Amino acid sequence: MRRRELLKAAALGPMLPGRLAFGQHRRAAPSDRIQVGMIGVGNFGVANLQDFAKNPDVDIVAICDVFEPNLEKGVSLAGGK
């Protein structure tokens, strides 16, 4: 990116509509939402699952783990889905 392009982009920032300027996030249309299925929700999987669950544009649709306690914890974090 050239310096001139960077300055133009920076100058346009304050002109964005209110929601975008203040960082408010609108929920995506159903056709634009991401559906996630998790395989293995141990230590790293739980961290990823928590991040996905916080994102309003992500639907957690499936969870799989061979270790029953991990599976139960994953289902609980996903809201019982």
Residue 73 pLDDT: 93
Distance CA 15, CA 39 (A): 43
Specify the CATH number for 25-81; select among 3.40.50.300, 3.40.50.720, 2.60.40.10, 2.60.120.280. 3.40.50.720
pLDDT of 28 reads: 64
Q: What is the pLDDT along the chain (81 residues), one digit of tens a residue?
A: 566 666 566 665 555 555 454 555 566 676 788 999 999 999 899 999 999 999 889 999 999 999 999 999 999 988 885
pLDDT recorded at residue 61: 92
Structure pTM?
Answer: 0.58
Q: Which helix (H) or strand (E) holds 7?
A: helix 3-12
- Specify the pLDDT at position 9: 62
| Domain definitions of the chain by residue range | 25-81
